[in-house]
Amino acid sequence: MAQITNKRLGELVQTLFRILEKQPEGMKAKEALAALADSVTLTEYEAGSYESGRRFEKIVRFATVDTVRAGWLIKDDGIWTLTGEGAKALKLFKDPEVFHKMAAQLYRQWYKQHKGRQAENQCAASSESEDVEDESEKSVSVSYEEAREQAQETIDAFLHAMDPYDFQKLVAELLKAIGYHVTWIAPPGKDGGVDILAYTDPLGTQGPRIKVQVKQQCKAVTEPDLKSFMANIGQHDSGIFFCTGGFTKDAEAYARSQESKRIMLVDSAKLVQLWSDNIPRLSDQAWQRLPLTPIFFLTPEK
C-alpha cells in the first residue's frame, strides 16, 4: 500500500473504531465499511477499484488484520465488534500514526510467536522474506473473511425469503439429522410460543422434552423475548431458540446464566454450520430445503 501512509491507515481504523464503539452488539462488516466511507473523504486512490471491488474496502480490511491480532477487534461470521482493549487503544494512542504502528507491532509479535515453532529448525529468514510472508498471511485472512461474509449474506437472503412454515420444517429436518425425534410441528398460525417438540428417543420416554421456537426475522432476539420463550420451558425440559437475526448480548448472557433450565441459542451462522455438518444425514428432499455445497479456502491461523 505504497500510496497510502501509516497516518492515513490509522485515521481510517480509528474512525471505524469510533463507529463500532457506538454499536456494542457489533455491526455487519458491510454496514461498518459503508458507515466508514460516509464518515471520511476518500482520496482518488482510495475511491479507485480493483477487479474484486472498491479499493477502499480492501485497504480497510487489510489494515484491520493487525487490530484483530492485537485483540482490539473481533470479526465473527461477518460481524465486527470493538473489544475493551480496542476502546482503550483508541483513547491511549490518539495520534493515528502511533495507533497504526502499535497495532502493527502487536501483529508482528503474534506473527513471530505463531511462526516461531515452524522456524525452530530453519535458518533465520531475511526481513524481506518475512515481509512477503506477512503480506501473504494478511491476504489469506482478507480473502477468507470476504468469502465467508459473501456466502453468509447469500444464505441469509435465501432463508429470509423462505416461507415461514417452510423454514420451520427446515429446522425440524435439521433436528432429525442431528438425531432428535421430532414428534410435533406447529401448524401455521398461533403456536403458543413453541414451534417444534422433539425427544432424544423414538418413544419420548427418555431424556428431556425439547421445545423449539423458530424466528425468521432480521431483528435480534432480546432478553425479554427470550424470557417469554423460557416461560414455556419446564424444569425437565430443554429449549432451543432458532433466530436468523441472532441474539443480543443481554439475551446471550441471560441464556448462559440459567442453572436449572437448559437453553441453546442458534443464529443463522450456527444453523448453517449445523446444517453443513449434518449434510450426510439429511435426506435428498430435506437437503433441497437448503442446498449447500462445501467450498474450500485456505484458513488463516488462529
For residue 234, give the 3-state DSSP assignment. Answer: coil
Between residues 51 and 144, which one has the greater pLDDT? 144
Looking at the predicted structure, is the pLDDT value of residue 128 above 70? no
CA separation for the pair 239, 225 (Å, rounded): 14
How many CB atoms lie under 10 A from the CB of residue 202?
A: 9
Looking at the predicted structure, is the pLDDT value of residue 275 above 90? yes
Looking at the predicted structure, is the pLDDT value of residue 70 above 80? yes
> Per-residue pLDDT tens for 39-49?
999 999 999 98
CA separation for the pair 264, 270 (Å, rounded): 11
| CATH for the 163-289 domain, from 3.40.1350.10, 3.40.50.720, 3.40.50.880, 3.40.190.10 | 3.40.1350.10
Give the strand order in the sheet containing 73-76.
Answer: 27-28, 79-82, 73-76
CA separation for the pair 165, 185 (Å, rounded): 10
Give the pairing type, strands 181-185 and 79-82.
unpaired
Q: What percent of the chain has pLDDT over 90?
A: 70
Q: Which amino acid is at 3?
A: Q
Q: Where are the alpha helices (DSSP H) in 43-95?
A: 55-69, 84-92
**Which pLDDT belongs to residue 172?**
98
CA separation for the pair 49, 194 (Å, rounded): 49
**Which pLDDT belongs to residue 17?**
98
**Lowest-confidence region among 31-45, 71-85, 114-128, 279-293:** 114-128
Q: Where are the domains of the chain?
A: 6-117+133-158, 163-289
> Per-residue pLDDT tens for 163-172?
999 999 999 9
**Which pLDDT belongs to residue 211?**
96
Between residues 292 and 128, which one has the greater pLDDT? 292
Grid cell of 144 as nine digits: 477468507
Contacts of 199 (CB under 8 A, 6+ apart): 180, 181, 183, 206, 207, 209, 210
**CA 21 distance to own-chain centroid:** 18
Tell me the average pLDDT of the chain.
89
CA separation for the pair 91, 250 (Å, rounded): 26
Per the CB < 8 A criterion, the answer to whether 88 and 38 are in contact is no
Per the CB < 8 A criterion, the answer to whether 111 and 127 are in contact is no
Give the strand order in the sheet containing 196-199.
Answer: 181-185, 196-199, 209-215, 237-243, 262-266
**Which pLDDT belongs to residue 117?**
53
**Which pLDDT belongs to residue 121?**
44
Taken as a whole, the chain contains a residue count of 302
Bridge partners (DSSP) listed for residue 209: 237
Q: What is the mean pLDDT of residues 271-279?
A: 96
CA separation for the pair 35, 207 (Å, rounded): 49
**Which pLDDT belongs to residue 217?**
92
CA separation for the pair 158, 60 (Å, rounded): 28
How many CB atoms lie under 10 A from the CB of residue 256?
A: 9
